[in-house]
Amino acid sequence: MMNKMTLRWTLIALAIVAPLLIAWYIHYQHNHFSCEAHTTVIDDNYVLDIIADYSFNGGEGTYETSGDYIQPGQPVVAISNKIAFNYWREADSIIMVSTETNERPKKNQAYRLSIPDFYHVRDRGIRVQITPANASSYFISYGNAPILYCTKG
């Protein structure tokens, strides 16, 4: 009789706790993830070839990139950037505000004119949508247009 009662209460406790654990896990995965993208931008005046890593960790994140900036007839310029940012969700968007940037080299290249301020100026924000593409990747959209495809890190 005591074993049946113990088993019954254990099953009831599991039935209560299991959905809570699943909800916590989904919420955690929603706010703790990273992804990597390899991007090549080809323009009439330059080629930009970079690898970018985004990491989101419960309201704080980092963006790190490294790659090459190539202009015809010029030596290849190694570029990199590391951004610390805070983020939060509003509806289906993620709003990111840079808290620190460290863009190298420090001189202006033509590609910077078409990149939002978030990526090279401190205390600037950007609103993006991050949508799962499949079990191992995301689409990052800006202004309702997909701009990056990145794989989970």
**Domain coordinates in residue numbering, the chain:** 32-152
14 vs 133: CA distance, rounded Å: 33
32-152 topology per CATH: Lipocalin (2.40.128)
Comparing 3-17, 48-62, 138-152, the range with the smallest average pLDDT is 3-17
| Portion of the chain with pLDDT greater than 90, in percent | 48
Per-residue pLDDT, averaged over 54-69, amounts to 94
Per-residue pLDDT, averaged over 106-114, amounts to 72
Q: Which residues contact 42 (CB under 8 A, 6 or more apart)?
A: none
Question: What mean pLDDT is reported for the chain?
Answer: 88
Residue 109 has pLDDT above 90, yes or no: no
Task: Please give the angle made by the CA atoms of 42, 47 and 51, to the nearest 5 degrees.
Answer: 95
134 vs 150: CA distance, rounded Å: 11
pTM: 0.81
74 vs 107: CA distance, rounded Å: 15
79 vs 151: CA distance, rounded Å: 22
Per-residue pLDDT, averaged over 135-150, amounts to 90
Which comes out higher in pLDDT, residue 119 or 113?
119
